[in-house]
Amino acid sequence: MSTHTGGDRAPVTVIGLGAMGSAMAETFLRAGHPTTVWNRTASRADPLVAQGAALAASPADALAASDLAVVSQVDYEAMYDSLGPAEGALKGRVLVNLSSGTPQELRRASAWAAGHGAELLPGGIMVPPPGIGRPGAYVFYSGSEAALDRHRRTLAALGTPTYVGADAGLAMLYYQAMLYVFWSGLSSYFHAAALVGTAGVPAKELLPFVSGMFADLSSDGPMGFLRQLTGEIDAGAYPGEFNNLRMQAVGMDHIVHASRDAGLDTGVPEALKELFERAVERGHGSEGLTSVIEVIKEPKR
Ligand SMILES: NC(=O)c1ccc[n+]([C@@H]2O[C@H](COP(=O)([O-])OP(=O)(O)OC[C@H]3O[C@@H](n4cnc5c(N)ncnc54)[C@H](OP(=O)(O)O)[C@@H]3O)[C@@H](O)[C@H]2O)c1
């Protein structure tokens, strides 16, 4: 079906040449894949064409060039804008979309692609552009495992393909779960740095303690709370004999006051305090911290 021959490397098309798509196309080129590119703003393809990419004149030509097309655009609407007019060229193609979206958008896009005879393999790429193809890079995929298997070797150039299930929305659920931990964990570090900063302490003085805590949390040792509390989540049991939630809600209130006294923004600490207190009000006060998941799962009553 493809218009290229490139040794034993399969041809691939990249649609969307922002920071991510450009880095992906470069990675495919470096790995020896005949690479066709298309972008709404054609001039962004210039550096890739200089490296050997073929610039497609239209989205339909881009789809026709390879059995596999990797889409990386700002969102899923951009995919419809680009490929909507080229729906006739979708038949028989595997479309990997690594753009950000919601799980529902991924499911809808999967049905849209199937309606045009294509298979959509949505994914979430877990590295920034400079990390693509580097050790440790991985990509969550969901949808058709057979489609992933057919193109696994090509897609592995970007990062380790990590299949999470047949429900098309799953890749984005995993991606968002990871981003949420990343953003909220680091934002809490920023707040902590600002808090000690109000007493003239530079963040680098706090850093060893925080990095020690992050390492401990992931360890198998006595402070390996991540593994321990995961067991509690899955068991739905939250023992709190050594550190009950009522005590921790009071401690969280102290952080709100300390932040307010120091003139800092209290939005996030207040939200956490309120979460803890709601769990206490619902009868979890003598249980452990993990019991707040009950409020997260059932926010309204
Ligand atoms: N950058 C990261 O660190 C990172 C990490 C993981 C995942 N992601 C995800 O990867 C995706 C791309 O990110 P990026 O950093 O490459 O973004 P970006 O540099 O802002 O590029 C956005 C791309 O989307 C295209 N686009 C926007 N609206 C369009 C439309 N209506 N029709 C056609 N094309 C349209 C742009 O085309 P034009 O050039 O014509 O404007 C451009 O190619 C996003 O969904 C992002 O969430 C990014």
Cα within 13 Å of Cα(107), Cβ side: 9
Q: Report, as an integer, the average pLDDT of 172-194.
A: 97
Report the nearest-CA residue for atom 20 of ligand 1. 18
Rg of the chain, C-alpha, whole Å: 24
CB–CB of 161/155 below 8 Å? yes
Q: What is the DSSP string of 101-131?
A: --HHHHHHHHHHHHHTT-EEEEEEE-S-GGG
- pLDDT-derived band of residue 89, with 50, 70 and 90 as boundaries? very high
Choose the residue to mutate in 24, 38, 48, 74 for probing ligand 1, maximizing ligand atoms within 8 Å of C-beta: 74
What pLDDT does 301 receive? Answer: 59
- pLDDT-derived band of residue 43, with 50, 70 and 90 as boundaries? very high
What pLDDT does 93 receive? Answer: 97
Residues in the chain: 301
- Residue 118 and residue 67: Cα distance in Å, rounded? 10
Q: Which three-class secondary structure state does DSSP give residue 143?
A: coil
- Ligand 1 center to 161 CA (angstroms): 21
Q: Report, as an integer, the average pLDDT of 182-204.
A: 98
Look over the chain and give the mean of its residue pLDDT values, rounded to a whole number.
95
Q: Tell me how far CA of residue 297 lies from CA of 14, 109, 185, 233, 291, in angstroms.
A: 39, 27, 20, 11, 10
- Ligand 1 center to 41 CA (angstroms): 12
Q: Is the pLDDT of residue 212 over 50?
A: yes
Q: Tell me how far CA of residue 137 lies from CA of 130, 133, 161, 272, in angstroms.
A: 10, 6, 9, 32
What pLDDT does 2 receive? Answer: 39
AA identity, residue 166 = A
pLDDT in tens, 54-76: 999 999 999 999 999 999 999 99
AA identity, residue 125 = I
What pLDDT does 8 receive? Answer: 87
- pLDDT-derived band of residue 4, with 50, 70 and 90 as boundaries? very low
Report the nearest-CA residue for atom 19 of ligand 1. 18
Q: Is the pLDDT of residue 6 over 90?
A: no
CB–CB of 68/86 below 8 Å? no
- Ligand 1 center to 266 CA (angstroms): 33
pLDDT in tens, 142-162: 999 999 999 999 999 999 999
* Residues with a CB atom less than 6 Å from ligand 1: 16-21, 39-41, 44, 72-75, 78, 81-82, 99-100, 125, 128-129
- Ligand 1 center to 153 CA (angstroms): 24
pLDDT in tens, 183-192: 999 999 999 9
Percent of the chain at pLDDT > 90 equals 95
Q: Is the pLDDT of residue 3 over 80?
A: no
Pairing type for strands 138-142 and 119-125 reads antiparallel
Q: Any idea which residue has 């450009």 for tokens?
A: 22
Pairing type for strands 160-165 and 138-142 reads parallel
- Ligand 1 center to 98 CA (angstroms): 10
